[in-house]
Amino acid sequence: PHIKLRTDLSEVESVMITHRLSSFNDVGLLLIAVDAVRRCMVEEIRVFIPYFPAARQDRVMVAGEALSVKVYADLLNNLYLNGMIVFDPHSEVTPALLDNCITVSNFKFIELILADLPKDTLLIAPDGGALKKIYKLAAYLQDYDVIECSKTRDVKTGKLSGFKVYAENLEGRACLIVDDICDGGGTFMGLAGELNNKGAGDLYLAVSHGIFSKGTENLAKHFKRLYTTDSFRTIVDDGVEQIPLEKLL
């Protein structure tokens, strides 16, 4: 990647660089953008990274794996930035690895979605990793109940099984699954079946970062509506409502 700044920054003291990182090439572009700004003698440089790459590879599960999130964090820390802002990171590992990091929660994102859903909508935590975040969200929202769920994943193959919903009867209430990332969507489709078995009403899915590597067609068969932001990419799909981050910040 290559970059050339069109704006004269000779009298600018502070710059914020915003960039979606959806490939390693994007990371390279961010690195040289910071270098270009710094060579204009700008004193303070901050970056806003809506989706932090490799956020799910935040632990080594089997021998031979890389701790990918630390690789990206080390690259950015070596820029000695004045601040890094990340939207709804996957876990506490990402901000712990980044120097001068500020995180933006998904609170306003979910609040906007719930404004259009029934008042008695249930918040669904899809797995153990989402529990701490969803209870903080519920505390912020005040009036929404949380339903805990779980799954089993084979760490060697990635295959999912054993979906469980820890409630006996959902009484036909609307359910909003809340999570940070949707890649292939297997977790949410597997969980949708179990929610239906427990008497759920309409199902909705809200993910801060919509990767949707296998598209949304199969997900749309299970959910009345899919919600995401433009943190990872722009999506044009009738079944997806994409809320721009500019509305949340």
CB 122 within 8 A of CB 181: no
Comparing 81-85, 104-108, 233-237, the range with the smallest average pLDDT is 233-237
State residue 107's pLDDT score. 98
Comparing 60-64, 76-80, 83-87, the range with the smallest average pLDDT is 60-64
Give the strands of the sheet with 240-243, arranged side by side: 160-165, 146-153, 122-125, 175-182, 203-210, 225-229, 240-243
Report residue 186 as tokens: 């297997």
Indicate the pLDDT class of residue 162, thresholds 50, 70 and 90.
confident
Indicate the pLDDT class of residue 41, thresholds 50, 70 and 90.
very high
Residue type, 207: V
pLDDT in tens, 209-229: 999 999 999 999 999 999 999
State residue 13's pLDDT score. 97
Question: What mean pLDDT is reported for the chain?
Answer: 94
User: How much is the average pLDDT of 77-90?
Assistant: 97
Indicate the pLDDT class of residue 155, thresholds 50, 70 and 90.
low
